[in-house]
Structure formats: C-alpha cells, structure tokens
Amino acid sequence: MTALSFGQVIITEIADPVDNTAARFVEIHNVGATDFDLTGYYLGRWTNDTATPTASTNVSLTPIGTLGAGQFALIVANQTAFTTAFGVTPDINAGSVGPAGSNGDDQIAIFDSSDAIIDLFGVPGEDGNTPTVTCHDFEDGRAERKAGITSAASTWNEAEWNVWSVGTPASTCTSHTTISTGLDANLTNFDPGSWIGATTASVDQFDVTRFSLYPNPSKSGFVNITSNKTGAIKAQVFDVLGKQVLNDLVSNGRLNVSPLHSGVYIVKLTQNETSSTKKLIIQ
C-alpha cells in the first residue's frame, strides 16, 4: 500500500479492433487528485470462463512508476501495430497473450501487490460469449467506463460501462450496443489516452487534444503543426520500422516533409519537455 488514497486508478477503456487484433489495448487512468504509485501493481486476466486469473499472463504495472493525477497509461498487445494505428506511444508493450490481447470474452482487473482486486471488468468464471453473450462481451468492439465514475470497483458493475460488440446479449443489459461489423482501429472508434469522464488534464502529458497536425494525409510537401501551449516544438519523424527519417523544429507553424516518400510515418512532437506522437500519411 502507498500513502495515497485507495482506488484512484481505474480501467477506462478496453479495445478489440475487428480489423487489427495486434492493436488491442487496455487504458488505465488516475481519477484521483494526487499521484499514485503503481509499484507492485499488475494487470491480470481471466481467460474465457476460468475461475482464477491466468497468472502466466499477468502484466506488471511497475514500469509505469507514478501515475500523476489525471494521467493515462496504455498497455498494448503490440507496440508497432498500436502506434501505427493510433499515432500514440504506449506505456507498456505487453504482448498478445496478456490482458491487452483479449479477444473480447475475458475478464480484466488491476491488482495490488498483495493480489487484491482493485478494479474489475467482467464476471470471473463467466465466458463473455459462450454459451450466451454476456453484458461484458466486447468482441470486435470496445468497453469504455462511463463518465462520472470516480472510484475503482472490485466487483463488476455493469451500470458503470458502455460496451460495444458484434454479439447480442440478454435484454437485461442496460449499456450494451450490438454492432454488425465491428469497430476498425482508428481514432474515430477508439480514443487511447483520452476519456469522456476525465476532468483533470495532466500537466505532464502533451496529449492529442493539445496539438493539431494537418493536412493529413499530406501531398503538399509540408504539414501545419499547432499547439495550445507556447514554446518551440521539435518534430521527429520515424518510418514504420522505427528509423528516424526527419528531425527538425517546427517553423512558423509548419514542418517541411518534402524529403519523405509516400507512406505512413509516426511524428513525435516535443514541447516544453513533454511529448506525444501522431500518425502521418504522405501521399
């Protein structure tokens, strides 16, 4: 236990994109007003209808360290696929067999160092879609915590979640939406690093809402980059293999990208010692 108040960190989004299973992720968020030390904490998963968590798939949250008030952390199945899809750099690359790699019928929780459940999604021992579809099935879709949730829940509370999946659950589910074709991996369907219930913006995060990059796709030889903060913006551009292909300062709100060939790139923007990433398409 830390000296901080209990239950500040909650799960706010779980994603299972229908077109890109490698881009699956789990998002956690500090809803408290003070920092939270995640040392010793981990993310666990019950696979299908198992009654106990699958210990071999636990993902340590210790590398995150202290999660500041209002901050998010992203645990992903595959860092390259996730960053290419969303233009966001994750905190932990956990692999496809862990909680971030769930195919929508598993249960996921944050545990503390004594193995106590801090925050839980789903009903342990109940497969999400077999033999019937449940309220916590998010296959080919997503689950997002509803706005207004300010504390963790060690037992599943269906009323705290909006869930989308290709399955049709029992009529007793109050917040489950059936989608016929699933949700593709893009920022229209998912919002990693953001949440409808967030009320406190982190002073340490330079998230996607604080800057704009356009036109995107670009075929004009430049992109406009703006920020709602003051100070020089450094832009580093990487290809999909992670090789840096451009490193320059944004001048008068513009970045010269004429040396780049057609393709998909990741742009890392740094301003005032804070940074974030954005996907860029050059035509």
The whole-chain average pLDDT of the chain stands at 86
Which pLDDT score is estimated for 199? 56
pLDDT at 205: 39
d(C-alpha 90, C-alpha 4), whole Å: 25
- The 10s digit of each residue's pLDDT in 37-91 is 999 999 999 988 888 999 999 999 999 888 888 889 999 999 999 999 998 889 9
pTM of model > 0.75: no
Query: For the residues of the chain, what is the DSSP string, one character each?
Result: --SSPTT-EEEEEEE--TT-GGG-EEEEEE-SSS-EE-TT-EEEEE-TT-SS--GGG-EE-GGG-EE-TT-EEEEES-HHHHHHHHS---SEE--TTSGGG--SS-EEEEE-TTS-EEEEES-TT--SSSSS--TT--TTSEEEEPTT--S--SS--GGGEEEEESS---TT-SSEEE-SS---SSTTT--TT--TT--S--TT---GGGEEEESSSB-SSEEEEEESS-S--EEEEEETTS-EEEEEE-BTTEEE-TTPPSEEEEEEEEETTEEEEEEEEE-
Least reliable range by pLDDT among 134-138, 227-231, 247-251, 262-266? 227-231
Multiple choice CATH, 208-282, 3.40.50.720, 1.10.645.10, 2.60.40.3080, 3.40.50.740 = 2.60.40.3080
**Is the pLDDT at 100 greater than 90, yes or no?**
yes
pLDDT tens readout for residues 132-163:
888 999 999 999 999 889 899 999 999 999 99
Residues in the chain: 283
Q: What dotted CATH number matches 9-178?
A: 2.60.40.1260
Q: Is the pLDDT of residue 169 over 90?
A: no
pLDDT in tens, 193-219: 888 887 533 333 334 435 678 888 888
The residue among 219 and 276 whose pLDDT is bigger is 219
pLDDT of residue 12: 96
CATH 2.60.40.1260 segments of the chain: 9-178
